[in-house]
Amino acid sequence: MLTILKRMLALVAALILLSPSANAYCGGNFEFPQLSKSSIFSQYENAVLRISVGSQTGTAFLIDSAQGYVLTAAHVVEDAIDDTSVEIWGTSPMDPKKKLKLKLKGQLYRSAKKADIALLQLERPDSLSGVYAFDVSFRVLQEDNPAYAMGYSTGDSNLKKRPVDIENINIDDGYVVKGDQYPGDSGSPLISGNGMVVAIARGKVLEQIAHYTPMSDAIPLLETIPFTTRMSELDERIKQSKIDEQELSANLKPGRTLGSTRNVELVSWAAAVGGKSEQYRKAKELFDCPIVMAFWHRKLDPVADLLRPVMSAALKARTDFMLAKTSLSLRRFAIADDQLKLAIQETNFDPGRVRDPNFENRPVLDGSCDPAAFFALDVGVRDEPATTAFLLSATEGQYELVRQYGLPNPSGVQSGPDLGFLPTTSYRGARAVASKEAYAQGVHWSSPLESSNYLAQVLPAGTKDLYSGACI
């Protein structure tokens, strides 16, 4: 066990100190803001369709208003899958009397992951061009986060909207959600607090419990969606390096208008980049910053992996580690182990020497303190709390704490990250807690000296002096 944990520690330290997380201002903030329940329901209700396929009814939802793409559960359109002459029809709350014909574009049945997803397209792609479509998120939504469902219960023609509770997440059932769920809700979206779809209702429903397929399982279908005109134009400018970091960052900022760049667009674009990476050699620096960072902020972690051919080794390693955490959250332990091993191989990290971008090849050894290393830790607490918690617990020799933070360990016991559990009598523990509290209060710093000076003032009495305490 000790050998495994040491290797993991080396990886985590490398990821925090080498990755762009240490540069918190690479293009700014690309995250989607939270929305109120009423905003989510009012903004997206017209994007939720009632569909019928023969005698079968269910729910579908619009993900691309420009090209008319829609997602649902595969079993809802099973008759059309088996017989191409069977027609698929839908209606939107925008005009319930207007029937919309759809065609099947692709479907997934993965017995191992129990995927139940189909991609449809409106026969007239622009039929709902004025409707604000859902965007998608591949970041796992934890049990204590707000979640909402919208769908047509028991074949009812009236759209139902309600908050729901995520009971748990497991490898067999995906998201297990409690609420007023009925068979007619098959194909409906599970919506996060920022209005993004994180999962699709599948067929297995017991009483008031529904099972949802994680949105990450839909990536092979989303990759097949063609570029929008806007994305094609942006792609050409990136290829030719005719756009600078500032303008590209502005293009990648999330927005809630019909003209905003959407995650669905970025999925198919990333797939194209990965397949033709030689065309993007001139733009390699743009992938380092801001493209990959924007993908992470926009909760496109698994899609960032499609950009691997144009990534630096450090970006590849951190992406692999993030994918391992995603798989772990979905309780797909074997996949998480493989991704973690790949991250370790990508990193080739020597635990005796830590290379920090601002302090070339500076060693960080036991008994010596380096403000640059602590700055990376402070930023890590903000950007990657679970990763940082693992680093702190392992460096303290408290290996059992690994399971307290929901990271891989031989026992497979998981729970969510909580930096408050760290002992504040430890200098590193105290600093981590103080960093987290500072960020919560809106305090930012952009250099090792800034973070060190600020935290030296707020650390609890009795902790070690900044330049003589224990180091990472």
Give the DSSP letter of residue 93.
Answer: T
Which residue in the block uniquely carries the two structure tokens 């649902």?
72
The H or E element that residue 206 is part of is strand 196-206
Q: Where are the domains of the chain?
A: 37-220, 221-346, 353-458
Helices (H), 157-262: 219-222, 229-239, 245-252
- Buried b / exposed e over 416-449, threshold 16 CB at 10 Å, is ebebeebebebbbbbbbbbbbebbeeebebeebe
Q: What angle do CA 210, 211, 216 make, to 5 degrees?
A: 140
The one-letter amino acid code at 19 reads: S
The one-letter amino acid code at 436 reads: K
Angle between helical axes of 229-239 and 263-275 (0-180°, round to 10): 40
CA distances from 321 to 38, 219, 317, 382, 396 (A): 36, 19, 6, 17, 21
472 residues of the chain, pLDDT tens digit each: 333 333 343 344 444 333 433 344 476 788 899 999 999 999 999 999 999 998 889 999 999 999 999 999 999 999 999 899 999 999 999 999 999 999 999 998 744 456 899 999 999 999 999 999 999 999 999 888 999 999 997 767 889 899 999 988 888 889 988 876 554 588 999 999 999 999 999 865 666 788 999 999 999 999 999 988 889 999 999 999 899 999 999 999 988 777 789 999 999 999 999 889 889 988 989 998 899 989 989 999 999 999 999 988 778 877 887 887 788 788 887 787 677 667 655 654 333 333 333 333 333 333 334 555 566 666 666 655 555 554 444 443 333 333 333 333 333 333 333 444 444 555 666 676 777 777 778 777 777 677 777 877 777 655 544 334 444 3
* Cβ 76 vs Cβ 90: under 8 Å: no
The one-letter amino acid code at 13 reads: A
Angle between helical axes of 385-395 and 2-18 (0-180°, round to 10): 130
Q: Which residues pair with 212 in a beta bridge?
A: 175, 201
For 37-220, CATH number out of 2.60.120.330, 3.20.20.150, 3.20.20.70, 2.40.10.120 equals 2.40.10.120
Long-range contacts of 397-401 (CB under 8 A, 24+ apart): 399/1, 399/2, 399/5
Tell me how crowded residue 414 is: count the other CB atoms within 10 A of its CB. Answer: 16
What is the distance between the alpha carbons of residues 262 and 266, in angstroms, rounded to a whole number? 7
Give the DSSP letter of residue 89.
Answer: E
Give the residue among 135, 294, 143 at the shortest CA–CA distance from 215: 135
* Cβ 322 vs Cβ 301: under 8 Å: yes
Tell me how crowded residue 125 is: count the other CB atoms within 10 A of its CB. Answer: 14
